[in-house]
Amino acid sequence: MSQKNRRKIMVDIDTLIEKSLQGEKLATARLISMVERGDQQTPYILEKMYPHSGNAYYIGMTGPPGAGKSTIVNKLVKLFCKSSYRVGVIAVDPSSPFSGGALLGDRIRMNAKSQTYDYFFRSMSAGRAMGGLSRTTKEASRILDASGRQIVIIETVGVGQSELDVAKATDTVLVILTPESGDHIQIMKAGLLEIADIFVVNKSDRPGAENIAHSVRGMLDRRHARLQWRPHVFMTSTLMNKGINELHEGIWTHHRYLQQNGNLEKRRKFQIKEELQQRIETELSDILWQHIIDDEKIEQLVAEVWLHKISPLNAARKIVAEWLGKGKIIQKTFSTK
């Protein structure tokens, strides 16, 4: 790419960033698409946006497929918007590989209700997330935050570890269950108990809802006896319009808890630490595979290990030692800009 073209792209991106920071939704949608695709400009965008983020309240929403997460998100968005909050939603769609970049979709959804409610909806495909789902959703939610969204809701299906990680990296985690969610062993196995700040038993218009709520409360009694925050359990039915106002109030109760005694700061610092650890590992392994190890070297080591000339442990250590020796070269090739 010519110098001139590169400068033009950077100018365009600066304009997009400026517009997004002023709250323009289309610019925000385009930035998120770029980050989702893992465009070359991603680090630049993130560096420019990050100083403006940190003001939003992040809510994670997870639970089994079809539990009613999206329906509940819609109802909550309306309530938040009625209180004049600017809301952003990221829904991770595990199935569709095409949901992400569809600008047309963004536009339709944006215009649909923007007269009455100021919200931004974004669907993101788990399959398209470049650099891992939790990284991409985090980056997208920070862009929303920087663009002035005061509440950012992230919906993921609680089926895999990466989806749970996404929900976990928020200020308040809602776990949505239904009477069909199965017995408590299944809930525990899915790792949902550990991450929930609030439990919702949705579809309470169906039989068995009380049982699930009872069983969750029982598990919490055993587990959270010594913890500061004991997750609240709400019963909702979006069908009968029941329990949503109480849930909405319950979310603000957790928000107030976070405001006390530096709880929010502690939680976010813990999350930053986890993120840094992950990113450092990724950076190091990128350098390792780009600059130190090539196929030829691996093959050579395989042959030596195969012939029992060297143990696998020592072969690995040899590589690492070589890497450390090459520290200076790496410093030259590795730039943070």
Ligand X SMILES: Nc1nc2c(ncn2[C@@H]2O[C@H](COP(=O)(O)OP(=O)(O)OP(=O)(O)O)[C@@H](O)[C@H]2O)c(=O)[nH]1
Binding site for ligand X (CB under 6 A): 65-71, 157, 202-203, 205-206, 237-239
Stretch that binds Mg ion, among 2-10, 14-22, 65-73, 225-233 (CB under 5 A): 65-73
- Would you say 42 or 62 has its CB closer to Mg ion? 62
Task: Give, in degrees to the nearest 5, the angle at Cα 160 between 159 and 166.
Answer: 100
Instruction: List, in order, residues 6 or more apart from 281 with CB less than 8 Å away.
Output: none
Instruction: Please give the structure tokens belonging to residue 150.
Output: 């005061």
Q: To the nearest whole angstrom, how small is the minimum distance from the Cβ of residue 238 to ligand X?
A: 4
Q: 9 or 79: whose CB is closer to ligand X?
A: 79
Identify which of residues 31 and 199 has a Cβ nearer to ligand X in the complex.
199
> Which of ligand X, Mg ion, none interacts with 29 (beta carbon under 5 to 8 A by kind)?
none
Closest CA to 57 of 160, 174, 165, 159: 174
Among ligand X, Mg ion, none, the one that 65 touches (CB under a kind-dependent 5 to 8 A) is ligand X
Cβ distance to Mg ion smaller for residue 70 or 263:
70
60 makes contact, choosing from Mg ion, ligand X, none, with CB < 5 to 8 Å by partner type, with none
In sequence order, the 6+-apart residues with CB closer than 8 A to the CB of 170 are 58, 59, 60, 154
- The string of DSSP letters for 219-282 reads HHHHHSTT-S-PPEEEE-BTTTTBSHHHHHHHHHHHHHHHHGGGHHHHHHHHHHHHHHHHHHHH
Place of tokens 């089994």: 64
Give the interface segment with Mg ion, choosing from 69-77, 138-146, 268-276, 283-291 (CB under 5 A): 69-77
Contacting residue, 41, 53, 70, 162, with Mg ion by CB under 5 A: 70
250 interface partner picked from Mg ion, ligand X, none, CB below 5 to 8 A per type: none
CA atoms within 13 A on the CB side of 121: 22
Residue 60 burial (CB < 10 Å; 0-12/13-18/19+)? buried
Q: What is the nearest approach in angstroms of Mg ion to the Cβ of residue 180? A: 16
In the complex with ligand X, the residue whose CB is nearer, 148 or 250, is: 250
Q: Would you tell me which residues interact with Mg ion (CB under 5 A)?
A: 69-70
